[in-house]
């Protein structure tokens, strides 16, 4: 009989079973809330974790009860051999393997990604207007994103989750339009508060639409009830009466979910980040390349869990965010 991994908990009794793995800092868009106005200097190729290094680390984490992995970037579909990497990760035994993408190239890869073992996708889309899309994303074609959404449905990368960042004065007039998509299909529309980042060209607290305001606007579409899913995630989920899909509210700024946070991040250059809003990182790439044993890496993984803070101090550091660039950390 296969031995079941012990439940791993941090210093605050939170189960840690979710790892977000950034595989590149490169992206084929330059969204206004993500990319510095002066441009972004990318990591050297030799600094990125190799497929083998990523797989080795995930295997170690899996032995401690890791159940969920999300592949992020940058744009993860730009990484060479992404299909092979996903296949090898799935073979480890990860229960849920997902990927966040801007959707520009997903339509051409969706079927192969599904065959490789990917379970579902999150697709970033901040507007339903083609011209506004080009403004927010600094390029791109919204039609390619919709093709990807349809293709993801067809190959059953389900449920398809659509991530929307409402920004005051830019796209917040579309909150109801996005929420209304849940009446058409079983889309999970997730409204994510704009987060402070040193790289952002537009961050001010006033630009952030707090979650309670999003909910007030959505209530115009009808009554809604809370929906619970298996597992713990950052999203508070609701279904509007008569809708097929789900509304998700993610509020890292106005109403944080630290008491139930179950995740670590692994950056593309091999730093374990216990909290998005903290500069604390634990390097696993350097020890790996110096010949560290699995036992040594095991200790680093456990150390990352034990130093995970009880909560972020975002309200205190709003003017000096530790988020240098989401593409450098992993979205």
List, for residues 172-181, the tens digit of each pLDDT value: 999 999 999 9
Cα dihedral 297, 300, 306, 311 sign: negative
Total tally of structural domains belonging to the chain: 1
Q: Is 112 helix (H, G, I), strand (E, B) or coil?
A: helix
Query: Residue 8 falls within a domain, yes or no?
Result: no
| DSSP structural state of residue 114 | H
Longest dimension (CA), the chain: 59
Query: Residue 10 falls within a domain, yes or no?
Result: no
Query: Residue 204 falls within a domain, yes or no?
Result: yes
The whole-angstrom separation of Cα 117 and Cα 96 is 9
* Residue 260: per-residue pLDDT: 84
Query: Residue 164 falls within a domain, yes or no?
Result: yes
Query: Residue 7 falls within a domain, yes or no?
Result: no
Residue recorded with tokens 């295997």: 59
CA 160 to chain centre: 14
CA 97 to chain centre: 12
Does residue 1 surpass a pLDDT of 50?
Answer: no
Confidence of residue 327 (pLDDT cuts 50, 70, 90): low
The whole-angstrom separation of Cα 116 and Cα 180 is 33
Query: Residue 13 falls within a domain, yes or no?
Result: no
Query: What does the angle CA 233 – CA 129 – CA 36 come to, to the nearest 5 degrees?
Result: 65
Structure tokens at 33: 């809330």
The total number of residues shown for the chain amounts to: 331
Contact (CB, 8 A) for 92 and 69: no
List, for residues 156-168, the tens digit of each pLDDT value: 999 999 999 999 9
The whole-angstrom separation of Cα 278 and Cα 301 is 17
Does residue 128 surpass a pLDDT of 90?
Answer: yes
Query: Residue 120 falls within a domain, yes or no?
Result: yes
Confidence of residue 228 (pLDDT cuts 50, 70, 90): confident
Angle subtended by helix axes 106-116 and 142-154, to nearest 10: 30
| CATH number of the domain to which 190 belongs | 3.20.20.70
Element (H, E) at 240: strand 236-240
Contact (CB, 8 A) for 289 and 230: no
Structure tokens at 141: 């074609």
* Residue 291: per-residue pLDDT: 98
Query: Residue 225 falls within a domain, yes or no?
Result: yes
Tell me the pTM.
0.91
* Mean pLDDT score, 25-42: 80
CA-wise closest residue to 164 among 201, 137, 202, 197: 137
| DSSP structural state of residue 194 | -
Q: What integer best gives the mean pLDDT of the chain?
A: 89
Domain of residue 191, residue span = 18-329
Contact (CB, 8 A) for 123 and 113: no
List, for residues 18-29, the tens digit of each pLDDT value: 999 999 999 999
Structure tokens at 239: 């279904």
């Amino acid at each position: 009989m296969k031995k079941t991994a012990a439940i791993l908990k941090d210093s605050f009794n939170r189960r840690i079973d979710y790892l977000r793995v950034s595989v590149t800092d490169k992206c084929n868009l330059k969204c206004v809330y993500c990319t510095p106005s002066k441009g972004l200097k990318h990591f050297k190729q030799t600094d990125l974790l190799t497929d083998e290094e990523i797989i080795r680390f995930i295997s170690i984490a899996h032995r401690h009860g890791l159940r969920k992995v999300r592949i992020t970037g940058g744009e993860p579909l730009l990484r060479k051999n992404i299909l092979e990497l996903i296949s090898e990760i799935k073979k480890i035994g990860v229960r849920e393997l997902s990927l966040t993408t801007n959707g520009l190239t997903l339509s051409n890869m969706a079927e192969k990604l599904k065959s490789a073992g990917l379970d579902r996708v999150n697709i970033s889309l901040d507007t339903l207007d083609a011209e506004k899309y080009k403004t927010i994303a600094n390029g791109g074609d919204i039609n390619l994103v919709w093709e990807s959404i349809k293709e993801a449905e067809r190959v059953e990368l389900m449920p398809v989750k659509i991530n929307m960042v409402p920004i005051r004065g830019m796209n917040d007039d579309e909150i109801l339009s996005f929420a209304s998509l849940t009446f058409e299909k079983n889309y999970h529309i997730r409204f994510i508060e704009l987060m402070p980042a040193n790289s952002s060209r537009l961050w001010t607290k006033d630009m952030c639409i707090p979650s309670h305001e999003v909910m007030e606007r959505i209530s115009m579409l009808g009554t809604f009830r809370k929906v619970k899913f298996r597992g713990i995630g950052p999203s508070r989920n609701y279904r509007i009466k008569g809708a097929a899909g789900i509304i998700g509210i993610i509020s890292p700024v106005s109403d944080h979910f630290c008491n139930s946070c179950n995740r670590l991040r692994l950056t593309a250059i091999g730093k374990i980040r216990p909290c998005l809003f903290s500069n604390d990182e634990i390097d696993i790439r350097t020890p790996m390349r110096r010949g560290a044993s699995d036992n040594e890496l095991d200790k680093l993984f456990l150390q990352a869990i034990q130093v995970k803070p009880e909560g972020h101090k975002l309200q205190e550091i709003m003017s000096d965010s530790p988020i240098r660039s989401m593409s450098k950390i992993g979205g």
